[in-house]
Amino acid sequence: MGLTCFDVMVDPAIQNTIHPEESVATAFNIIRRSRARFLPVVDHDGTYLGVFTAPTLLKMILPRAALIGVETSRMPLDNLGFMSLSKEDFEHRLEQLKDEKVGDNMSNPKNIPVAAPDTPVMEGIFLIHQYKRHVILVDPQTNRFVGTLSANSLLDHVLAAPEDTESSGQ
């Protein structure tokens, strides 16, 4: 049998997750510390609920005026050079995010590909290409989060670095 998404997923020991009742400020600290682009959101028994992403976090830091027209038919601003953000402004905005819950700010589920761990790796690669993001692996029986499949996990597990091939005598 060929490789499955489970075979090449990000090691669950290094995949950070977050609970829905945690604050967005906590999510920011995890994302900053781990340099993650997203955090799977799981409840206390590991049930997958959704994803909180770094782009969502950045959107929350933007002033509301910058987002006027972005999600409607009105023409959004195309240049924010007239706005400034000092370190103090940024810290103040993060302080405000302590009251925002991750569960209330998850990404739209239509934008997050989900697959079973036993999904063939080729289908996982297609999902990464189609959605331009990671794939969340969820046990279809329990809806529990299993891991993630990313372009990097594929490269790390499947494609050997040239120096690895040279040292093995091939």
Q: What is the pLDDT of residue 165?
A: 44
Q: What is the pLDDT of residue 72?
A: 53
Q: What is the pTM of this model?
A: 0.79
**pLDDT at residue 89 is higher than 80:** no
Average pLDDT, the chain: 84
**pLDDT at residue 69 is higher than 80:** no
**pLDDT at residue 64 is higher than 90:** no
Average pLDDT over residues 148-162: 79
DSSP state letters, 41-82: EE-TT-BEEEEEEHHHHHHHHS-GGGGTTTTSSSPPPS--TT
Residues near 126 by beta carbon (within 8 Å), at least 6 away in sequence: none
Average pLDDT over residues 94-110: 90
By DSSP bridging, strand 145-149 and strand 135-138 are antiparallel
Strand partners, 42: 48
**pLDDT at residue 58 is higher than 90:** no
List pLDDT tens digits, range 4-51.
Answer: 999 999 988 889 999 999 999 999 999 999 988 999 999 999 999 999
More confident residue, 67 or 23: 23
CB-CB contact of 32 with 3 (8 Å)? no
Q: What is the pLDDT of residue 1?
A: 67
Tokens of 97: 């995010």
CB-CB contact of 62 with 50 (8 Å)? no
